[in-house]
Copies of this chain bind each other. A is one copy, B any other.
Amino acid sequence: MSATRSRPPTITDIARQAGVSTATVSYVLNDTPGTRIPEATRRRVTEAADDLGYVPHASARSLRTGRSDLVVYAMPAVTLGPFAARFLAGLADELQDRGFTLVLHGDSASRGVRAARRWARLRPAAVIAEGHRLTDAARDLMRRSGTVLVALGGAPEAGLPTLVLDHRGMGEAAGRHLAGRGCRDVAAVIPAEPVLRDMGEARAVGVEEGLRGAVEGDAGGGQSRDGESADGDAIAMRRTPMEETPEDAGRVVREWIRDGLPDGVFGYNDEHAGLLLSALIDAGVEVPGRVRLVGADDLPLCGMLRPRLTSVGLRAEYAPAEAAERLLSLITGEEGADRPLRLWTPELRVRASS
């Protein structure tokens, strides 16, 4: 019963109980093609395996496939919203059906060799991790252990298959919308937490492009999707660093009031936007009358706030089974190593706050 005395049953235990060689056990359990094993022997082996409670080892390299079946998803330093949680749960199921085991590695702070050594302890077939954590030394360590790396990021990572989450595109959708509503002085929030800053910057660059695109679209003959920004003025955008706390949201709003309120705000994500909305209400600033506000991620809280929060969500491009297939084709090297995979498309959901 104690962990120090018991050990998982091995194929040697099965071989002993079934009275056959370990090679025979391996052939039967792996269903190796080209072997002729009598049905009675086959049954003796599977019965012994069931009786002993044998379970194959996820990170033992299979002689047949030359790889382990473990996929490690290195959790990014962002709260796992319901969208991401559902995606990962679905992915775990789909991978399980295909003989892979997905585990999440919760240490989101380490990067480089330090992180790679932690992942490598699991002997995974593949690791999915944010691109900025994959230093050259980390890539080298993973490569030498035969682990496939899949980057996660806002843009394709050179030399690696990348799962692209289009932060720039999310910002762009918000920028176009705010420009279309007539905003001419927009603030884009940049989260103060160091691990989130790159993501915030990518979204802010997108907001700038969206604002510019809306103006150029108008100048070029009204191709803007929103009708209200037809004057072609340049639109100013400032970056506003903010911690994800009510206190810092209060500070930001006080400074805006002192230095001049923006007429449009992209809150980086729904939590930051929700904190800002709360601080704006407390300061007596009308939303959307005086300031139009847009969040991102389209969390359920958008519908609970008053006014309800406009947000840029993500639309899944593929059903879970196809998403898993496409991800596996990167892991097993069936597609080009540089091929980016876009599973989601930004999609604006307009509500009362903008």
The complex places the Cα of A126 from the Cα of B331 at a distance, in Å, of 28
Tell me if A118 is interfacial: C-beta within 8 Å of chain B.
Answer: yes
- CB atoms of B79 and A103 under 8 A apart: no
Tell me if A283 is interfacial: C-beta within 8 Å of chain B.
Answer: no
- With A4-B67, A67-B3, A122-B58 given, is the CB distance from A102 to B106 under 8 Å? yes
- With A6-B144, A9-B145, A55-B121 given, is the CB distance from A89 to B66 under 8 Å? no
Give the contacting residue for A123; candidates B4, B57, B65, B105; CB below 8 A: B57
Tell me if A286 is interfacial: C-beta within 8 Å of chain B.
Answer: no
The complex places the Cα of A8 from the Cα of B120 at a distance, in Å, of 8
- CB atoms of A80 and B85 under 8 A apart: yes
Tell me if A7 is interfacial: C-beta within 8 Å of chain B.
Answer: yes
| A interface bracket (residues with beta carbon within 8 Å of B) | 35 or more
- CB atoms of A143 and B106 under 8 A apart: no
- CB atoms of A8 and B106 under 8 A apart: no
- CB atoms of B122 and A101 under 8 A apart: yes
Residue ID in chain B nearest A117 by CB atoms: B55
- CB atoms of A59 and B57 under 8 A apart: yes
Fill in one digit per residue for A80-113: 1 if any B CB lies within 8 Å of its CB, else 0.
1110010011011100100001111111110000
The complex places the Cα of A66 from the Cα of B5 at a distance, in Å, of 7
The complex places the Cα of A92 from the Cα of B75 at a distance, in Å, of 12
The complex places the Cα of A116 from the Cα of B105 at a distance, in Å, of 19
Tell me if A125 is interfacial: C-beta within 8 Å of chain B.
Answer: yes
What is the distance, in angstroms, from A152's C-beta to the closest C-beta of chain B? 16
Tell me if A303 is interfacial: C-beta within 8 Å of chain B.
Answer: yes
Flag the segment in A22-30, A32-40, A272-280, A341-349 that touches B: A272-280
Fill in one digit per residue for A202-217: 1 if any B CB lies within 8 Å of its CB, else 0.
0000000000000000
Tell me if A1 is interfacial: C-beta within 8 Å of chain B.
Answer: yes
Taking CB atoms, residues of chain B closer than 8 Å to A75 are: 104
What is the distance, in angstroms, from A84's C-beta to the closest C-beta of chain B? 9
What is the distance, in angstroms, from A122's C-beta to the closest C-beta of chain B? 5
Tell me if A271 is interfacial: C-beta within 8 Å of chain B.
Answer: yes
Closest 7 CB pairs of A and B: A6-B146, A8-B145, A58-B121, A55-B120, A274-B304, A104-B104, A103-B103
Q: Which residues of A contact B (CB under 8 A)?
A: 1-9, 52-53, 55-59, 61, 65-67, 69-70, 72-73, 75, 79-82, 85, 88-89, 91-93, 96, 101-109, 117-118, 120-123, 125-126, 140-141, 143-148, 244, 246, 271, 274-275, 277-278, 281, 300-301, 303-306, 331-333
Seed contacts A55-B121, A55-B141, A96-B107; 11 additional CB < 8 Å A-B pairs? A3-B331, A4-B67, A4-B333, A6-B146, A59-B123, A93-B109, A102-B106, A103-B104, A103-B105, A275-B303, A301-B301
